[in-house]
């Protein structure tokens, strides 16, 4: 069954790899250098797909690691970030600063979502 499941997921995995490559190419040089040196951490449910780290590493030509606790790591990291922002200057000014920063890589599929909303209208 493993081979059959792989073939079902291959197209989706290729799309994920290609989108990740496009995001990396669009990343500002100062941040891209850090990514090339330190690599990428995969989180969330997709990180549980066996071999996704190797596939992404081959596609991106950077080290890729799966988070120790991929299902909870996003929530844990968000909590840590919010605590740091709150301690720094207050949550709202910190969030405004975070999302206006050029170092934040935006959602590469955001335009697709906007296009779908326009079609529905």
pLDDT tens, 20-53? 999 988 988 888 888 888 999 999 998 998 889 9
14 has a pLDDT exceeding 70: yes
Highest mean pLDDT among 64-68, 82-86, 106-110: 64-68
**In the chain, what percentage of residues exceed pLDDT 70?**
69
Provide the strand spans (E) within the chain. Answer: 40-42, 64-66
Long-range CB pairs of 19-28 (<8 Å, 24+ gap) are 19/108, 19/109, 20/56, 20/59, 20/60, 21/59, 21/60, 22/108, 23/105, 23/108, 24/60, 24/62, 26/105, 26/108, 27/105, 28/102, 28/103
Domains and CATH numbers, the chain: 2-120 (3.30.420.40)
Least confident of 25-34, 65-74, 101-110: 101-110
- pTM (2 decimals)? 0.60
């Amino acid at each position: 069954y493993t081979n059959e499941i792989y073939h079902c997921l291959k197209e989706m995995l290729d799309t994920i790899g290609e989108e990740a490559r496009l995001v990396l190419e669009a990343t500002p040089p100062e941040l891209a250098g850090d990514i090339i040196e330190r690599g990428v951490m995969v989180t969330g449910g997709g990180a549980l797909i066996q071999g996704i780290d190797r596939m992404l590493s081959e596609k991106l030509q950077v080290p890729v690691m799966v988070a120790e606790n991929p299902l909870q790591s996003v929530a844990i990291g968000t909590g840590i970030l919010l605590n740091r922002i709150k301690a720094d200057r207050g949550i709202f000014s910190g969030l405004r600063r975070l999302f206006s920063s050029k170092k934040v890589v935006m959602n590469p599929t955001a335009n697709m979502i906007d296009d779908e909303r326009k079609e529905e209208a």
